[in-house]
Structure 1
Amino acid sequence: MSVSSIGEIAWVLGIVAWYFIRRPYERRAKRVRVVSHRRSRSEIVGLGAALLGLAIIPGFYVATGIPEAADYPARAWAVAIGALTFLLAMWVFRRTHKELGRNWSITLEIRDKHELIRGGPYALVRHPMYTSFMLMGVGQAFLLSNWVAGLAGLIGFAVLFLLRVDEEERMMLEMFGSQYRDYMERTKRIIPYIY
């Protein structure tokens, strides 16, 4: 089995893990009443970009090998780094969902009896879900030895983050006021101690 095939298999396993982590929370969330939401065109574009970059483009590449012209030689060390990074992403992703519990939603929503979560990964960063997507993008870049499919995840993540995070923080400030402002002063956005 080639190194590039191992990277592709690791990416597929990571996406399968992503689905199985998210699915039960998605089902539970449908049972909790939404009090307010911030669904917008920019949020739809951001979510679409993330889906395109982290799933559709790399999935198409893994299934077809297209665009073959953007391939480069796979390296075992890169696949190892990619697999470890993707594994870390899934750990953060799972922890984030577990901490959010009934507060989780795929879109910008405030749910009935919404609470400000500050435990687990939220003790270090305000948006660990975005941290997990960033780590997925980095892992994908190392796992898939193709300039287009490999980098698509980081681009998709960046579009989602830039279009959504400010609106999300405004929503939380409106909901939690000074409590969220204090939390913002103690934490970074997505990279502990840095940003």
Structure 2
Amino acid sequence: MKKASIVKDRAATETRILNAARAVFARRGYDAAGLREIAEAAQANLSLISRYFGGKVGLLTALTDQFVAGRREGRLSYPPQDTLEDEIYSYLHEKLRDDLKDEDIVRLIVSRAAIDAEFREKGRVHSDGLADENFRFRVRRLQDNGKVSPDMDIDLLFAGVMHVSFSVNFFGAIVAGRPDTEIEALFHGFAAALAQGFPGRH
């Protein structure tokens, strides 16, 4: 078998295993999920999970990598906004939509990170403190138009936006199931507060 074909077959098998792991983790929870059940769901040899991913922690780490990469590679679905407050507000809504769409993996990652130091440590690779390039581009556009201070710390602003996003999306929408009107009010309030904390030129 040619090397290219082997690589392609492995990639396809890894994808099946990851998809199966995500489904089994969502259905049974991380602790109750078994590698044999995941292998059967993926129609893959059990030994391949250890060979490709190093076990259950490796599977969850790979799912987290896949999840984060998908978020960073995507594009914003809403048009550029005319003010920093509106940009923050729209971005928060975009992230809420994404989190609700991927609620199963969000619950899994957050709950595991809360109790598993090994997994939490592996996840630090994603905590680089740098802004999403989509968000950075939008804020720079506002800077170019004179609506945001040119020396504003975009990474610091983004950190604030992400803290709001995580708190409202996970604890408010996903865990507590707060009504849409309450989520809307929170997004409006936080967007206004963050924008005022990073004033533009008038």
Alignment TM-score, normalising by the size of structure 1: 0.27
Q: Which has the higher contact order (CA 8 A, sep 6+)?
A: 1
TM-score for the superposition, normalised by structure 2: 0.27
